[in-house]
Structure 1
Amino acid sequence: MKILNICAYTWAIGGPARIIYDHTAEALKNGHEVTILSPMSPGDKMYEAPEGAKLVPCRRTTPISSIYREFSLDLYKYLKNHMHEYDLIHIHGIWHFGSLAPFLIRHNLPIVITIHGLLDQWAVRHSKWKKDLVTFLYQKKILAKADVIHVNNTDEVNDVVRYLGFKPKNLVIIPNGMKFDEFWQMPEQGTFRARFSLPTQQKMILFMGRLNIKKGLDLLLPAFAAYHKAHPDSFLVLAGPDDGYLAETQKFIVENALEQSIHLVGMLTGSLKKAALGDADLFVLPSYSEGFSIAVMEAMAARVPALVSDRVGFGEYIQKYDAAYLTPLTVQGVTEGLFTVLQNEALRLSYPPKAYAMLKENFEISVVAKTMLTAYESAMTGKS
């Protein structure tokens, strides 16, 4: 099978790139060929591709791409010239040009669309006028034409039904998976703190993700300020690229005199990201909307206690296994969560083993990837 993935495959995009990497690696092991077609801008850092995969970067076309996400004439030209070489197209996400482009070219290839949480009510309300326009022009029509609509959980099923007004027959639920063995060996304790000259005896709270309001930073920042006022032996690390909320974050830090207690370290990758997880006392992500948070899965794989919302994509699993502290999406709720978890060591240390068991039993990539490949094969059979 020759598979073409379409996604902004950069470090800045976060979870989807990691998901594609892991699924691609498994597809290659099973004898398939995989190409990743990625719109990009000058300065973007491309995510690494598994050995044997083909990565095709396509320049975003400015200034249109600043208005219409991922718009790229190069991407369209590549599809026009090479679509016939593939057996199946897998589109990651909606609302962007890459999700439309294959439908502008005459073909008979099966198409899989992964929603990645982008029909969540919070996500739909964000930039609503643009999404209303895209919905009116084509979004519902192309979802109806997809051979497989892939979602991660029952919440996303409800999102799709609410958006389309009916439950499509081609809807499949496949959770995201991960390869967990890379977290078996972690950097030496204290490596990250030493790198950034952070206190060695204080509790380190780690947020890892794009600096975007949807990640719940408007809740986390005041919640941390309240906790830190009562317990100054703590600090917060914000690790991730700016995605619209850096200026607001910096303003909050200055206005609350937290320059020595909130540290912006930018995007972390590779061993440095693992070092940050290894040094953290608590991982936090009070997100309003996630398709299926890879950041939370990585923290749990690294055995870091976590405080998250139930909107991270697998809240029902977390609740079932009691794998993390599930916080309400309010400042008071996050504040109470910080006090509860950080001031109760027995509770905090009870989460990692349960979280790791949850991951191994439900989200091992080798099992999940085979389910996805089966969905591909069904889509191809339906086209033949």
Structure 2
Amino acid sequence: MKVLMLIPALGNVYGGPSKCIIELAEAIGSKGLEVDIVTTNANGNVNLDVPLNIWIQEQHYRIQYFHYLNFIDYKFTWSLTQWLFQHVQDYDLVHTNAIFSYPILPAAWACQFHQVPYIMTPHGMLEPWALAYKAWKKNFYFSLIEKPALQNASGVQMLASTEFQRVQELGINAPLLLIPNGIHTHDFEKLPSAEIFYSQFPETRNKTLILFLGRIDPKKGLDLLAPAFAQARNLFPNSHLIVAGQDNIGYLPQVKEYFSNTSCLEAVTFTGMLTGETKYSALAAANIFVVPSYSEGFSMSVLEGMASALPCVITTGCNFPEAEAAGAASIVDINASKIADALIAYLQNLKQAQETGIRARQLVFQNYTWEKIADKTIINYQRIVRKKSQKAYSLLR
């Protein structure tokens, strides 16, 4: 089977979706499918330094980048549009990722024109908070343009069971597929020494570390984390917060003001984006992991924290009720006081918190690895392609 995956951008500044597309492509490509990825060279304010309009061969997939023009975040690309209409018929199935970004639409239109089945994955962008954020530019666009593309899809992938339920309420009649994100177990079986992180950020040494790992963005709930951490630190003055993530939109000064206003800025280390060994060392150094988000599709950050055997405090906006059912995380309402209560509960009994972290690791390793996610994805790909073939055969009879 030959599969085309499309995402508007793969730059690191765009966070989890960029990472999970590459890892899914690797996983399904390693199982024998031919996988191509097309995208733009967008990477926030600075474009990726990559060759354009030629295939780049990776171990289990190929990737091709196209030039784009940015217009209120929609990433218009005429060259990719032309390429899609010329080449989607070369594939058995097309899998698009994201919505509210222009490249998704010509992919859907080209698939409809050439009668190629396609799956759309919104990556949490149909969640209530996401739809309400910048609603002035989303409501009309969704109703007139985006929703018809979703309605005509052979499947719409939901990353979480809660997202599955909410999307049904939007009146999208396409088949809904529940396939979450995953992690590679080999990344978490043996984390590097915490000393690597301490040496770069010595103020964190000998502290009880609470780690936030994600983009510096309004939806991530850092305005809630500031008063929550302040409450926890009043009771546990040795606690220290690590905010590890990249600021793509100039939001960091506002975030620092949140912590300054709650008189705990001196106990917060802003590391910027962490990658590779340093990121895994930060996970090894941390005692508690926190994700105070207003809205997530299915957070890669949460999976990474849990796979690192960390006790996690996550909000209901993270869409992971399965973690609570397994006793593998503390899931709280999207509220600063509730986040504070959960942090304090872990800090009061770190040994018991570690037991929660062990259950978290077991849950992720058993159910949320790319090996398992790839198998489930391929089964759905095969079903959709087989359904198209059966339909074509019945028309010929």
TM-score class, shorter-chain normalisation, is over 0.9
- The 1:213–1:196 alpha-carbon spacing in structure 2 relative to 1, beyond 3 Å, is same
Q: Secondary structure at the match of 1:22?
A: helix
Q: 1:284 aligns with which of 280, 287, 290?
A: 290
Work out which of the residue numbers 289, 295, 302 in structure 1 matches 2:308. Answer: 302
Out of 265, 270, 273, the position equivalent to 2:271 is 265
Q: Specify the alignment match of 2:63 in structure 1.
A: 55
* Consecutive unaligned residues in structure 1, runs of 5 or more: none
The residue that corresponds to 2:344 in the other structure is 339
Give 1:226 shift: 2.4
Match of 1:357 in 2: 362
Alignment pair present for 1:117 and 2:124: yes
SS for the counterpart of 1:198 is helix
AA matched with 2:224: L
In 2, Cα distance between equivalents of 1:45 and 1:142:
28
What are the equivalent positions in structure 2 for 1:241-256 lying under 5 Å apart?
A: 241-244=246-249, 245-256=251-262
Q: C-alpha offsets along residues 60-92 of structure 1, whole Å, 9 cap, x if unaligned?
A: 213x2xx14232223213313332322211011
Confirm or deny that 1:238 pairs with 2:246: no
**Is the 2:297–2:319 Cα contact (8 Å) retained in structure 1?**
yes
Who is 1:72 aligned against? 77
Mapped contact 2:223–2:258 kept (Cα < 8 A): no
Q: Does 1:137 align with 2:138?
A: no
Which residue is 1:12 aligned to?
13
Q: What displacement does 1:346 show?
A: 2.6
2:187 pairs with 182, 188, 210, which one? 182
Residues of 2 paired with 1:176 and 1:347: CA distance? 28
**1:377 shift after superposition:** 1.4
TM-score by length of 2: 0.89
Task: Provide the rounded CA distance (Å) in 2 between the counterparts of 1:75 and 1:346.
Answer: 53
Matches of 2:212 and 2:374, distance apart in 1: 28
Aligned 8 A contact 2:230 2:263 in 1: no
Q: Equivalents in 1 of 2:58, 2:226: separation in Å? A: 37
**1:321 aligned to 307, 321, 326, which one?**
326
The structural deviation recorded for 1:41 is 2.8
What corresponds to 2:3 in structure 1? 3
Is the CA contact 1:317–1:358 (under 8 Å) kept in the aligned structure 2? no
Bigger CA drift: 67-76 or 193-202?
Answer: 67-76
How many angstroms apart in 2 are the aligned matches of 1:194 and 1:111? 48
Q: How does 1:97-112 map to 2 (within 5 A)?
A: 97-105=102-110, 106-112=113-119
Query: Residue 150 in 1 paired to residue 152 in 2?
Result: no
> By how many angstroms is 1:333 displaced?
0.8
Structure 1 Cα separation of the partners of residues 192 and 227 of structure 2? 31
Q: Deviations over 1:29-55 (max 9, x none)?
A: 221111111223363558998513112
1:191 aligns with one of 190, 196, 201:
196
The answer to whether 1:221 aligns with 2:226 is yes
Q: Which stretch has the larger CA shift, 296-305 or 11-20?
A: 11-20
CA contact (8 A) 2:153 2:174 kept: no
Counting matched residue pairs gives 378
Q: Which amino acid aligns with 1:241?
A: Q
Instruction: Give how far 1:306 is off.
Output: 1.1
Deviations 1:300-352 (A, max 9, x none): 111122111132232x2111111011122111111111211112123211111
Contact map agreement 1:117 1:289 (CA 8 A) in 2: yes
Provide the C-alpha distance between the structure 2 equivalents of 1:320 and 1:136, rounded to a whole number of angstroms: 36
Percent of paired sites with the same residue: 29
The one-letter code sitting in structure 2 at the alignment partner of 1:366 is: E
Bigger mean CA offset, 230-239 vs 47-56: 47-56
Other structure's SS at 2:258 match: helix
Please state whether the residue corresponding to 1:311 is helix, strand or coil: helix
Q: Deviations over 1:270-293 (max 9, x none)?
A: 111101101111110011111111
Specify the alignment match of 2:395 in structure 1.
none
RMSD between superposed Cα atoms in Å: 2.1
Higher mean displacement: 103-112 or 248-257: 248-257
Distance in 2 (CA, whole Å) between partners of 1:293 and 1:49 is 28
Counterpart CA distance in 2 for 1:335 and 1:27 is: 40
Distance 1:265 1:45 in 2: 22
Give the 5 Å matches for 1:33-48. Answer: 33-41=34-42, 43-44=46-47
CA contact (8 A) 2:98 2:125 kept: yes
| Partner secondary structure for residue 350 of structure 1 | helix
Q: Give unmatched runs, 5+ long, in structure 2.
A: 51-55, 390-397
Shift of 1:99: 1.8
Residues 158-191 of structure 1 deviation map (CA, whole Å, 9 limit, x = unaligned): 2211112x6x352121222222122112111222
CA 364–104 in structure 1, closer or farther in 2 if over 3 Å, else same: closer
Q: TM-score, normalised by structure 1?
A: 0.92
